[in-house]
């Protein structure tokens, strides 16, 4: 951008100051937009090869303490929000004049307001897709008790690359249960035309206020305009509070009843009458089927931007002529089984006729339709055919030319959905889609690409063109392991045209149960059986089958987990809690995708009888029997040092831990033999298994029953622990029997308790599983069973739980990669595991932290490329490292502070060898720091060093290993 352009923007000095604050490697490209308080620029970050949207606050507002406080709050709030439909905030910079710069993700495209100005009303399918995206973003924010308060088209960006809607600008957002004192009583913040009535009045707001604003946005997407018009904003506000909007049904008769109901319920005046939450509204949107979201299924085929004109053309009453036919050659687009009144069917059919007659008058079709009783204007009359007459020689229909297809409008699945096939084979029926135009005419020559959204599959061909019937198909080759596979077929040259299929790879037909254990047990009614239920899956040759899915079913009590994947030895495991009735009970284990099943029996005996199971285990969800002073002492896994988000913690003399770059423990903490460093807090375990924590405690992550920061107190409760791990604002530990406990922040379910309530003392993880290892990411937790099966829970916006989705999990969910993992490591939004010398990673990959050579996230484990045989793996916030069996270290991912140790600050999507001829015997990482212990006993660290946490006597970040203490 030239100096002349900068002068025209009126913000020359602020922009230059902002670029200086960012540092070298940033190039100003152009202005993106401006408002009353800020100007947003497109800036190129050459170091990370990405574009940023940089919001520069006008200098005149730098002294406005309230405005700056709101911006500070926006930065803190958005930094907590990691969701694919929320524009990310990368960081902030403060300028010398007291103002601030926000560094945000750049969304390639335009905002929704600009889109609506260009196109008018949107087709229902596209509008509902955008509504789904933003409702998902709001539901995520609301779960974190954050209300946006300014949802409007200008704050919704349409990503041109992937076609999704993204929510931005949390500048007036706040926690709805926290009085921030930034808004005075009776004062409202937001955009009046999209405010809920209670927000206009300055009353308390919650998530339902955002639901109202989103409802207005949905109304505008479908109607092409705001529901209330006026000469001034005061007029609009009055109508918004006092008048009901014009019914969407009057404006868009092509909409389904459920679409209208979803939007109109959202914009009711009384919050109690609206959707109770964005989550509930989202569920209603996701419950719509294809026929309810596309006007073609209702008789109106509309191109984008034509909705208002089409609505004006719809007659106020059905046509009176006889016959209910359609032009010859047209395919019926209305799905079977749709229940609508006869009057509405005639109305919509009449609308179709008016539109087609108008559009295809040059072909003579208008005259033909007029003869069927749907005429209009000056169309000549044509004799009407009797209802039972077939077209013959001389009939009008017989003389019509074949219809020419229009633009592709609908992509619909025509076969192959919900299939399953044995692993390693092809599905018996190809997947088939059909491309239709707005009148249901097949469209040939459209390129269709097939891909797996989740799971693994190979497509032949991966790209096909529709034939004369508009059909395109592909053969699906299934993977070698059992799994569900979600397939998407997309028109490559037409935005928004896609169809989805769900297919499954199941164990080979020869798989069978080769052994069971846990049959014929007994316990009191409602109690858990003392031993687990086990089944072993083997193939035709008796060899174990890994990763086969086994379902456990019962009408008596509960069996958890309901499904389990077999480990390397072929075993699947579950625990059975009996039903409340006395007597014999049954549970069934079934091999998914086959008829193979086995029945377990158990006897529920009343307490006091001679058959009572004295050693039964308490029901799931209740606290496990503590391994405290009265129980067996845990075998504490000793760990004398650890690397956290901003600190390196070491156990010193007398077992007193201290942390460089973070809060060290007080003199009261001693005898510690294991330490774990989080982002702003740390925990340790003494010889007896008593856990101690110190540092930040805003969410109760220190486990002492308070939310006050301190230098170290015992974690409350009788449980004694053998392992402990610390995340961003939560902590977890394993007792001597492998029961997992967690405490602290639980907004994303990272405590695994089945809810989202914070816990200030340890709470048992709600699972029957027992674990041998546990690790914490920033907002998620993962653990290993003794057989090496990975289970994760908590935040999953980037796929860091590895279960193939992006839904937060409040209790442990198995990663569908089989058993046999020996180690786990979790970063801010990614996870890595080690199995048989091979590293697998999953989750966020913005900086290449998955090590697979791409920057694409992965919802399931993907192998790290190009590594020799590995002995251990560790993860920082956005990087990972592996130590080979030969003692070399390779790192990959973000490298802004030199945490990869290759002598540069360039991020790497593939493993890069750490500099220096050092043989490492152990390795740790956290935040932007990596450290290793060498074979000669020395410790070496590299990466972020602002507070001297590397221990080399300086505050200079290091991009290659530097020896601690020298």
Whether 451 contacts 488, CB under 8 Å: yes
Whether 387 contacts 471, CB under 8 Å: no
Q: Once rounded to an integer, what is the mean pLDDT over residues 119-128?
A: 88
Phi, psi of 128 (to 5 degrees): -70, -30
Q: Strand, helix or coil at 804?
A: coil
- For the ranges 93-102, 458-467, 644-653, the lowest mean pLDDT is seen at 93-102
Q: Cβ–Cβ contacts within 10 Å for residue 461, how many?
A: 13
Identify whether residues 713 and 584 lie together within a single domain. no
Sheet holding 26-34, edge to edge: 26-34, 38-45, 50-57, 100-105, 89-94
Identify whether residues 158 and 291 lie together within a single domain. yes
Quick check: is 456 in a domain? yes
Residue 851 has pLDDT above 90, yes or no: yes
Q: Are strands 109-111 and 146-147 parallel, antiparallel or unpaired?
A: unpaired
Length of the chain: 966
Identify whether residues 467 and 578 lie together within a single domain. no
Identify whether residues 68 and 121 lie together within a single domain. no
For 541-586, the pLDDT digits (tens) are: 777 887 788 888 898 899 988 888 887 777 888 889 999 988 889 9
Output the known binding site for ATP.
Answer: 55
CB under 8 A, 24+ apart: contacts of 448-453:
448/411, 448/472, 448/489, 448/490, 448/491, 448/492, 449/489, 449/490, 449/492, 450/474, 450/487, 450/488, 450/489, 451/487, 451/488, 451/490, 452/485, 452/486, 452/487, 452/488, 453/486, 453/487, 453/488, 453/500
d(C-alpha 202, C-alpha 194), whole Å = 14
Confidence of residue 368 (pLDDT cuts 50, 70, 90): very low
d(C-alpha 257, C-alpha 674), whole Å = 61
* Best CA proximity match to 747, nearest among 236, 140, 329: 140
CA 425 vs CA 417, 432, 473, 601, 665: distances in Å: 17, 18, 17, 36, 58
Quick check: is 594 in a domain? yes
What residues contact residue 184 under an 8 Å CB cut-off, 6+ apart?
Answer: none
Report the CATH number that the domain containing residue 523 is assigned in CATH: 2.60.40.10
Q: 32 vs 24, which has greater pLDDT? A: 32
Q: 91: left (phi > 0), else alpha (psi -120 to 50), else beta?
A: left
Residue 753 has pLDDT above 80, yes or no: yes
Report the CATH number that the domain containing residue 15 is assigned in CATH: 3.30.200.20
- State how far Cα 889 lies from the chain centre: 32
Q: Which two tokens stand for residue 520?
A: 């014929």
Highest-scoring range by mean pLDDT, 87-96, 254-263, 306-315, 400-409: 254-263
**What's the burial of 384, exposed, middle or buried (CB within 10 Å: 0-12/13-18/19+)?**
middle
Quick check: is 380 in a domain? no
Average per-residue pLDDT in the chain?
A: 77
Residue 334 has pLDDT above 70, yes or no: no
Quick check: is 46 in a domain? yes
Quick check: is 435 in a domain? yes
Q: Once rounded to an integer, what is the mean pLDDT over residues 957-961?
A: 94
d(C-alpha 78, C-alpha 847), whole Å = 19
For 596-644, the pLDDT digits (tens) are: 778 888 888 876 543 333 333 333 333 333 333 334 568 899 999 999 9
Q: Cβ–Cβ contacts within 10 Å for residue 151, how many?
A: 29
What is the reported pLDDT for 595? 61
Report the CATH number that the domain containing residue 161 is assigned in CATH: 1.10.510.10
Identify whether residues 559 and 690 lie together within a single domain. no
Quick check: is 785 in a domain? no
Identify whether residues 651 and 771 lie together within a single domain. yes
Its pTM stands at 0.45
d(C-alpha 424, C-alpha 272), whole Å = 53
Cα angle for residues 579, 583, 589 (degrees, 5° grid)? 55
What is the reported pLDDT for 567? 76
Identify whether residues 87 and 133 lie together within a single domain. no
Whether 954 contacts 666, CB under 8 Å: no
Residue 214 has pLDDT above 80, yes or no: yes
Residue 516 has pLDDT above 80, yes or no: no
Among the candidates 296, 326, 355, a domain finishes at 296
Output the known binding site.
Answer: 55
Among the candidates 543, 574, 604, a domain finishes at 604
Identify whether residues 555 and 695 lie together within a single domain. no
Identify whether residues 437 and 523 lie together within a single domain. no
Q: What percent of the chain has pLDDT over 90?
A: 36
**What's the burial of 887, exposed, middle or buried (CB within 10 Å: 0-12/13-18/19+)?**
middle
What is the reported pLDDT for 813? 92
d(C-alpha 572, C-alpha 471), whole Å = 42
Q: Are strands 498-506 and 420-422 parallel, antiparallel or unpaired?
A: parallel
Identify whether residues 451 and 530 lie together within a single domain. no
Q: b/e for 349-373, b at 16 or more Cβ within 10 A?
A: bbbbbbbbbbbbeebebbbbbbbbb
Q: Strand, helix or coil at 809?
A: strand
Residue 802 has pLDDT above 90, yes or no: yes
What is the reported pLDDT for 316? 28
What is the reported pLDDT for 741? 97
d(C-alpha 579, C-alpha 523), whole Å = 10
Residue labelled with tokens 């409702």: 135
What is the reported pLDDT for 311? 34
* Best CA proximity match to 87, nearest among 164, 190, 191: 164
Residue labelled with tokens 């709470």: 763
Quick check: is 381 in a domain? no
Identify whether residues 95 and 137 lie together within a single domain. no
Q: Strand, helix or coil at 815?
A: coil
Strand (E) or helix (H) holding 534: strand 533-538
Among the candidates 60, 87, 105, a domain finishes at 105
Residue numbers of the domain that contains 449: 410-506
Identify whether residues 572 and 653 lie together within a single domain. no
Q: Once rounded to an integer, what is the mean pLDDT over residues 57-82?
A: 63
Q: 845 vs 95, which has greater pLDDT? A: 845
d(C-alpha 606, C-alpha 523), whole Å = 8
What is the reported pLDDT for 924? 96
Confidence of residue 189 (pLDDT cuts 50, 70, 90): very low
Residue labelled with tokens 């009046």: 192
Q: Cβ–Cβ contacts within 10 Å for residue 668, how many?
A: 13
Q: Once rounded to an integer, what is the mean pLDDT over residues 3-22?
A: 54
Quick check: is 154 in a domain? yes
Q: What's the structural domain count of the chain?
A: 6
Cα angle for residues 914, 917, 921 (degrees, 5° grid)? 80
Report the CATH number that the domain containing residue 851 is assigned in CATH: 2.130.10.30
d(C-alpha 217, C-alpha 152), whole Å = 6
**What's the burial of 953, exposed, middle or buried (CB within 10 Å: 0-12/13-18/19+)?**
exposed
Whether 18 contacts 97, CB under 8 Å: no
Whether 525 contacts 611, CB under 8 Å: no
Residue 676 has pLDDT above 90, yes or no: yes
Q: Which two tokens stand for residue 140?
A: 């995520």
């Amino acid at each position: 951008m030239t100096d002349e352009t900068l002068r025209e923007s009126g913000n020359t000095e602020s922009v230059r100051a902002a670029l200086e604050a960012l540092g070298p490697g940033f190039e100003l490209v152009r202005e993106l937009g401006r408002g009353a308080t800020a100007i947003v620029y497109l800036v190129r970050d050459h170091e990370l090869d990405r574009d940023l949207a940089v919001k520069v606050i006008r200098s005149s507002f730098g002294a406005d303490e309230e405005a700056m406080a709101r911006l500070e709050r926006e930065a803190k709030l958005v930094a907590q929000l990691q969701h694919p439909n929320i524009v990310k905030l990368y960081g902030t910079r403060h300028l010398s004049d007291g103002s601030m710069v926000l560094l945000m993700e750049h969304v390639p495209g335009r905002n929704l307001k600009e889109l609506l100005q260009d196109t008018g009303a949107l087709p229902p399918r596209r509008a509902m897709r955008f509504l789904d995206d933003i409702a998902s973003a709001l539901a995520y924010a609301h779960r974190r008790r954050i209300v946006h308060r300014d949802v409007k088209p200008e704050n919704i960006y349409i990503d041109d690359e992937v076609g999704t809607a993204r929510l931005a600008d949390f500048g007036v957002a706040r926690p709805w249960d926290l009085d921030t004192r930034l808004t005075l009583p009776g004062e409202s913040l937001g955009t009046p035309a999209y405010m809920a009535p209670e927000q206009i009045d300055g009353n308390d707001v919650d998530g339902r206020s955002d639901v109202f604003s989103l409802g207005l946005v949905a109304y505008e997407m479908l109607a092409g305009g705001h529901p209330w018009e006026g000469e001034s904003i005061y007029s609009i506000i009055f109508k918004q509070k006092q008048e009901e909007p014009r019914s969407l049904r009057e404006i868009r008769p092509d909409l389904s009843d459920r679409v209208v109901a979803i939007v109109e319920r959202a914009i009711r005046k009384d919050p109690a009458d609206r959707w109770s939450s964005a989550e509930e509204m989202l569920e209603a949107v996701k419950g719509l089927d294809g026929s309810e979201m596309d006007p073609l299924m209702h008789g109106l085929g509309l191109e984008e931007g034509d909705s208002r004109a089409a609505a004006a053309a719809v007659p106020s009453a059905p046509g009176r002529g006889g016959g209910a036919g359609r032009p010859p050659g047209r395919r019926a687009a209305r799905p079977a089984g749709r229940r609508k009144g006869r009057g509405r069917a005639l109305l919509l059919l009449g609308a179709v006729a008016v539109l087609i007659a108008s559009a295809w008058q040059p072909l003579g079709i208008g005259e033909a339709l007029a003869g069927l009783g749907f005429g209009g204007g000056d169309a000549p009359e044509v004799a009407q055919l009797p209802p039972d007459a077939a077209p013959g020689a001389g009939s009008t229909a017989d003389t019509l030319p074949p219809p020419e297809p229009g633009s592709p409008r609908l992509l619909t699945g025509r076969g192959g959905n919900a299939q399953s096939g044995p692993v390693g084979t092809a599905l018996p029926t190809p997947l088939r889609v059909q491309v239709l135009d707005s009148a249901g005419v097949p469209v040939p020559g459209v390129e269709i690409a097939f891909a797996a959204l989740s799971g693994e599959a190979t497509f032949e061909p991966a790209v096909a063109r529709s034939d004369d019937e508009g059909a395109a198909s592909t053969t699906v080759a299934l993977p070698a392991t059992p799994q569900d596979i979600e397939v998407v077929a997309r028109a490559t040259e037409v935005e928004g045209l896609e169809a989805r299929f769900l297919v499954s790879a199941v164990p080979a037909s020869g798989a069978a149960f080769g052994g069971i254990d846990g049959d014929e047990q007994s316990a009191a009614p409602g109690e858990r059986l003392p031993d687990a239920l086990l089944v072993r899956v083997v193939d035709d040759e008796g060899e174990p089958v890994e990763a086969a899915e086994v379902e456990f079913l019962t009408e008596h009590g509960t069996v958890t987990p309901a499904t389990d994947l077999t480990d390397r030895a072929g075993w699947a495991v579950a625990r059975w809690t009996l039903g409340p009735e006395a007597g014999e009970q049954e549970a069934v284990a079934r091999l998914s995708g086959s008829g193979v099943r086995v029945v377990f029996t158990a006897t529920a005996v009343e307490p006091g009888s001679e058959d009572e199971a004295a050693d039964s285990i308490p029901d799931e969800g209740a606290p496990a029997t503590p391994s405290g002073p009265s129980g067996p002492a845990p075998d504490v896994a000793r760990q004398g040092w650890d690397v956290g988000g901003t600190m390196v913690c070491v156990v010193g003399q007398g077992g007193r831990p201290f942390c460089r770059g973070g809060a060290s423990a007080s003199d009261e903490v001693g005898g510690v033999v294991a330490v774990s460093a989080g982002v702003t807090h740390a925990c340790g375990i003494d010889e007896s298994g008593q856990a101690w924590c110190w540092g930040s405690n805003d969410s109760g992550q220190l486990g002492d029953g308070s939310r006050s920061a301190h230098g170290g107190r015992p974690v409350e409760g009788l449980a004694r622990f053998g392992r402990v791990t610390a995340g961003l604002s939560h902590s977890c530990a394993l007792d001597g029997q492998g029961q997992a406990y967690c405490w602290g922040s639980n907004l994303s379910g990272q405590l695994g308790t089945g809810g989202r309530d914070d816990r200030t003392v340890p709470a048992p993880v709600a699972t029957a599983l027992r674990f041998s290892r546990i690790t914490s990411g920033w907002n998620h937790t993962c653990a290993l069973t003794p057989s090496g099966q990975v289970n994760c829970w908590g935040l999953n916006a980037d796929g860091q739980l590895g279960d193939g989705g992006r839904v937060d999990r409040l209790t442990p969910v198995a990663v569908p990669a089989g058993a046999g993992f020996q180690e786990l490591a979790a970063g801010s939004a990614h996870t890595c595991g080690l199995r048989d010398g091979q590293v697998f990673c999953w989750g966020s990959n913005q900086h290449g932290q998955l090590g697979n050579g791409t920057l694409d996230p992965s919802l399931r484990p993907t192998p790290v490329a190009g590594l020799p045989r590995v002995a251990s793996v560790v993860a920082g916030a956005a990087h990972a490292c592996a130590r080979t069996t030969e003692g070399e270290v390779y790192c990959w991912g973000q490298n802004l502070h030199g945490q990869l140790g290759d002598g540069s600050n360039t991020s790497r999507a593939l493993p890069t060898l750490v500099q220096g001829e050092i043989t490492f015997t152990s390795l740790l990482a956290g935040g932007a720091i990596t450290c290793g212990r060498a074979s000669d006993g020395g410790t070496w660290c590299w990466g972020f060093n602002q507070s001297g946490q590397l221990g080399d006597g300086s505050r200079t970040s290091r991009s290659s290993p530097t020896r601690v203490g020298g």
